[in-house]
């Protein structure tokens, strides 16, 4: 210890004048902003049924994992937990990719990491937009200087493989983005064959599964997806704040042979790959302090998925979603095609103010459902039954709350 054996006389302040010490004491005691009254009260958070598009309710087992005592982010035991998380993500993604990690941040962190690391300023990027997430990726890519080309459809619209290939041939992108689970529109977009198109034209295929992972089948390796990411807070049922992501060899070749550094230091995969033990180096070096409690919770949520099995998770979400669809149709509500099992969108019932319906449901049933997001605002209402919440009893509760709102709220157009 470099300070071992030092005394007060060795202090940098030793020998300083008494007035200086008085000024230091005075500066430490001259607090002019009092403690805020709200911070002198205990934390209060209501118990709610989170039946919206996420976050979803977290099972007690995951909450307990997140509440375990903190350990250091560079401790050997933490590295073992991170190694477990990597294996859990590989199972959930159905990939053998070595470059598999979790971001210290929400799904947007993984979204930015994917774009920032694989695209350089001036390069062409093609984005399929049929909801808010394509809009976000397009803006992220433009902000870092990419030449962005947009394929745009109305919320929930479907892109055929022919349309995608024609756009790839025309714009010659280095990266093509598609949302698998478009939660703003309740769409689960087909993925088969698109990875083959991207390989044929030397383009990386980036897929967002934040709202779909664990609820709808996805096979990263079999479907030739080059970069795949998700979020922790939906069907995985962990608290928000971590985001699994994986890069295959094609993506790594592009990522680690850049002419310029990525615009973000925090999201630079050169450093993150070392932090996660993916770069083959014997030592993991400090890059940033990862969310230790968040990683505890993510590991537990991935363990629950592994115990249940992907096929069973997919089956359960499909079964409960079908049960919910029947109940919604019995209420006279209109649904959309290509439905996402985890998030169901319904057309706003004619003559009703959708904000009034949702406010009533929250107030009288302590239940969150939401309106649209981005381009789907004012078009739809959304119900999410994911992971821990994916039960027919919860579907019955949601249907009861909706029926009550439709009966009680006045028919008056928003």
Known binding residues are 382
Helix residue ranges, H only, 186-248: 194-200
- The torsion region of residue 218 among left (phi > 0), alpha (psi -120 to 50) and beta comes to beta
Positions at the binding site for substrate: 382
CA angle 209/296/90 to nearest 5° reads 40
* 178 and 128 Cβ atoms separated by less than 8 Å: yes
Helix residue ranges, H only, 34-193: 60-66, 76-93, 107-118, 132-143, 161-171
CA gap 30, 360 in Å, rounded: 49
CA gap 6, 246 in Å, rounded: 50
Coil vs helix vs strand at 345:
strand
> In 10 A of CB 409, how many CB atoms?
19
Question: Which of 345, 349, 336, 333 has its CA nearest to residue 369?
Answer: 345
Identify the bridge partners of residue 181 per DSSP, sorted by sequence position: 188
**Crossing angle of helices 107-118/132-143, nearest 10°?**
40
CA gap 338, 154 in Å, rounded: 14
Q: Exposed, middle or buried, 358 (CB in 10 Å: 0-12/13-18/19+)?
A: buried
Instruction: Provide φ and ψ at 398, rounded to 5°.
Output: -65, -40
> Distance of CA 400 to CAs 23, 224, 331, Å?
67, 42, 10
In angstroms, the first-to-last Cα distance of the chain is 68
């Amino acid at each position: 210890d470099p300070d071992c054996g030092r005394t007060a006389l060795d202090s940098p302040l030793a020998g300083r004048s008494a007035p200086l010490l008085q000024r230091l004491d005075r500066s430490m005691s001259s607090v002019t902003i009092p403690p805020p009254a709200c911070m002198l009260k205990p934390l209060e958070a209501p118990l709610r049924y989170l039946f919206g598009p996420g976050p979803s309710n977290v099972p007690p087992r995951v909450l307990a994992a997140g509440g375990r005592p903190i350990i250091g982010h560079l401790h050997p035991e933490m590295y073992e937990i991170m190694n477990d998380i990597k294996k859990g993500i590989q199972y959930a993604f159905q990939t053998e990719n070595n470059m598999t990690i979790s971001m210290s941040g929400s799904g947007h962190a993984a979204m930015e990491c994917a774009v920032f690391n694989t695209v350089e300023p001036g390069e062409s990027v093609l984005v399929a937009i049929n909801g808010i997430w394509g809009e976000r990726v397009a803006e992220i890519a433009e902000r870092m200087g990419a030449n962005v080309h947009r394929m745009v459809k109305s919320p929930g619209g479907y892109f055929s493989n022919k349309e995608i290939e024609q756009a790839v041939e025309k714009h010659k992108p280095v990266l093509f983005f598609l949302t698998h689970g478009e939660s703003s529109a309740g769409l689960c977009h087909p993925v088969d064959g698109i990875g083959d198109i991207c390989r044929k034209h030397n383009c990386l295929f980036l897929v967002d599964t934040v709202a779909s992972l664990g609820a709808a089948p996805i096979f990263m390796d079999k479907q030739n997806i080059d970069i795949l990411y998700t979020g922790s807070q939906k069907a995985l049922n962990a608290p928000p704040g971590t985001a699994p992501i994986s890069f295959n060899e094609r993506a790594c070749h592009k990522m680690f042979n850049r002419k310029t550094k990525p615009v973000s230091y925090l999201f630079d995969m050169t450093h993150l790959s070392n932090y996660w033990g993916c770069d083959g180096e014997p030592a993991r070096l400090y890059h940033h302090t990862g969310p230790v409690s968040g990683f505890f919770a993510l590991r537990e949520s991935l363990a629950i998925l592994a115990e249940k099995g992907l096929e069973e998770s997919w089956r359960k979400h499909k079964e409960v979603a079908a049960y919910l669809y029947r109940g919604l149709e019995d209420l006279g509500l209109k649904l959309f095609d290509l439905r996402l099992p985890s998030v169901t969108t319904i057309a706003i019932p004619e003559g009703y103010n959708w904000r009034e319906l949702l406010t009533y449901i929250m107030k009288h049933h302590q239940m969150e459902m939401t309106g649209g997001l981005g381009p789907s605002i004012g078009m739809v209402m959304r119900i999410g039954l994911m992971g821990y919440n994916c039960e027919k009893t919860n579907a019955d509760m949601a249907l009861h709350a909706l029926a009550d709102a439709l009966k009680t709220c006045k028919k008056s157009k928003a």
